[in-house]
């Protein structure tokens, strides 16, 4: 197909009037399309439109929408009671139950009723577009159009091409999503597409750290939020999503990649599912949501006096530079050292050495460098303004040595989260694994580097795209962290993406 477009005057049909289907119908109607909403359950489509009407009325009351806009949107929405009634539509968006056979049966029925030029879009979040389209007369007309919940609010749409999808059809749907005010990205049909694949380490590393006793969920969540800049930590987010749903997605991606250990589900989460502790919707998950319960506070170090001795800070390192400014602002005795060939240490005073994590545990690094009093710092999204920082110390580090570092960091304005010694700490480990998975998705031609960043920021609200974070840290730094994780665990889960190695060898632009 050489040319294809879906203009604002085409009729759009949405099949499935649940939360996602209703949201998609509302988006299309707000963009001026005549929208036909169908659901196999009698009356469900009209109920959905009535609900949309109420939601729009609330927006009018809050002055976020005019009455004229509300009326126009509702005039564009019509409930229909049969598949035959959507004949004449140029685009049909399917948003029914997430089961392959149900979707195949629906599209076969739609193809028998509608003309050959209709485009069929599926809102599936995980099922192969190739499998859905298989057996149809015109599989090239089938494309994934994956909205994120709530569809009206979340900006991202993954436009997913199966093996037979016509390039022009995918591009037409991509352009249409943009006209609807969404941020579309192209993806190849592979398990998890972009977001549900690349996001797996965000949950997996949190669960692994908890399982190993590195810190409690409330502390790990706080570190990811306060130090990493994420809107939610992994445990509170899993509780919000629902552990049954989150576990199911992980299992789907794991099975889709033939049991690749990189995507292995967590026994910790399976136990919650088996117990019925599914998160907010059942009143209990990692946290208790009973009316009288209060979420535990994260473990923060108590106030400790700052060191009285001179602090030598390596300002050639960006974190060292930021800490130096904060310490000087707090009136401490700081000597700035900016000509170091050792880029990995941050500060020294007495026998204590403070360094950034590189993926090794503090104890391993202390043994290899013969520095007993070693304290490692975790990654910070914004070292100059971060309110907290996570640290770990080597097994031979004295309590007094660790406490003097705590005092220094508190004097610099940080809340200090001390966690058990673990390779990569919390934020660095999580970010490195996200970047590694993002690079692997690009390596396997699932999407472009830019698309990964757009997808992860727009689909799951990450503060920075994983490729952008890798570019900031340097591919060699990310690769070093991942390789050290692999050396520690000896598990294929922590194998580095070939793309990361190629970037290190060639020095190529990570976005090319």
**Residues with catalytic function:** 125, 146, 158, 196
Q: Quick one: CA torsion of 236, 245, 95, 46, rounded to 10 degrees? A: -70
The CA–CA distances, whole Å, from 396 to 102, 302, 367, 374 equal 60, 22, 9, 8
SS3 285: coil
Contact yes or no for 251/456 (Cβ under 8 A): no
Cα–Cα distance, 202 to 64 (Å, whole number): 34
Give the separation between CA 361 and CA 55, rounded to whole angstroms: 51
Nearest partner of 438 among 455, 460, 426, judged by Cα: 455
CA angle 148, 152, 157 (to 5 degrees): 40
User: Hey, how many other C-beta atoms are within 10 angstroms of the C-beta on 420?
Assistant: 14
Instruction: Measure the CA dihedral 86/57/73/97, to 10°.
Output: -30
Distance CA 143, CA 168 (A): 11
Ramachandran bin of 413, using left for φ above 0, alpha for ψ from -120 to 50, beta for the remaining angles = left
What DSSP string runs through 21-49? HHHHHHHHHHTT--EEEE-SSTTHHHHHH
The set of residues, in sequence order, having a beta carbon less than 8 Å from that of 401 and lying 6+ positions away, is: 350, 351, 352, 373, 375, 393
Angle at which helices 19-30 and 67-75 cross, to 10°: 110
Interhelix angle for 243-256 vs 234-241, to 10°?
100
Bridge partners (DSSP) listed for residue 336: 313
The token pair that represents 255 in the structure block:
């099975």
Contact 189, 63 (CB under 8 A): no
């Amino acid at each position: 197909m050489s040319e294809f477009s879906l203009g604002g005057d085409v009729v759009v049909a949405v099949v499935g009037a649940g939360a996602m289907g209703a949201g998609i119908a509302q988006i299309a109607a707000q963009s001026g399309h005549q929208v036909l909403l169908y659901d196999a359950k009698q009356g469900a489509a009209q109920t959905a439109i009535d609900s949309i009407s109420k939601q729009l009325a609330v927006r009018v009351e809050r002055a976020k929408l005019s009455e004229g806009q509300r009326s126009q949107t509702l005039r564009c929405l019509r409930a229909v009671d049969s598949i035959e009634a959507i004949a004449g539509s140029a685009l049909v968006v399917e948003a029914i139950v997430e089961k392959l056979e149900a979707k195949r049966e629906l599209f076969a029925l739609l193809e028998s009723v509608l003309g050959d030029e209709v485009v069929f879009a599926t809102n599936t979040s995980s099922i192969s577009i190739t499998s859905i389209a298989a057996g149809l007369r015109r599989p090239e007309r089938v494309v994934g159009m994956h909205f994120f919940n709530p569809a009206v609010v979340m900006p991202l749409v993954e436009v997913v091409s199966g093996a037979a999808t016509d390039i022009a059809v995918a591009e037409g749907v991509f352009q249409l999503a943009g006209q609807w005010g969404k941020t579309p990205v192209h993806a190849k049909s592979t398990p998890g597409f972009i977001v549900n694949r690349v996001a797996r380490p965000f949950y997996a590393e949190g669960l692994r750290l908890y399982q190993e006793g590195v810190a409690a969920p409330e502390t790990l969540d706080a570190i990811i939020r306060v130090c990493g800049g994420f809107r939610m930590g992994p445990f509170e987010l899993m509780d919000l999503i629902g552990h049954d749903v989150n576990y199911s997605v992980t299992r789907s991606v794991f099975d889709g990649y033939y049991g690749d250990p990189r995507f292995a589900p967590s026994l910790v989460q399976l136990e919650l599912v088996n117990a019925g502790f599914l998160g907010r919707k059942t009143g209990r998950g990692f946290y208790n949501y009973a009316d009288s319960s209060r979420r535990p506070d994260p473990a923060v170090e108590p106030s400790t006096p700052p060191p009285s001795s001179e602090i030598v800070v390596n300002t050639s390192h960006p974190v060292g530079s930021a800490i130096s400014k904060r310490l000087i602002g707090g009136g401490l005795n700081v000597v700035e050292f900016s000509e170091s060939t050792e880029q990995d240490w941050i500060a020294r005073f007495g026998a204590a050495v403070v360094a950034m994590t590189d993926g090794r545990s503090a104890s391993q690094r202390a043994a290899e460098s013969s520095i007993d009093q070693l304290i490692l710092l975790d990654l910070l999204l914004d070292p100059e303004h971060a309110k907290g920082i996570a640290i770990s110390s080597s097994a031979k580090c004295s309590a007094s040595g660790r406490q003097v570092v705590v005092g220094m960091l508190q004097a610099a304005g940080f809340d200090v989260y001390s966690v058990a010694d673990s390779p990569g700490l919390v934020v660095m480990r999580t970010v490195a694994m996200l970047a590694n998975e993002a690079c692997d998705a690009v390596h396997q031609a699932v999407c472009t580097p830019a698309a990964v960043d757009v997808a992860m920021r727009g689909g799951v609200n990450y503060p920075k795209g994983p490729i952008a974070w890798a570019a900031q840290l340097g591919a060699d730094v990310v690769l070093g962290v991942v390789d050290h994780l692999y050396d520690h665990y000896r598990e294929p889960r922590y194998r580095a993406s070939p793309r990361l190695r190629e970037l290190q060898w060639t020095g190529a632009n990570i976005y090319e």
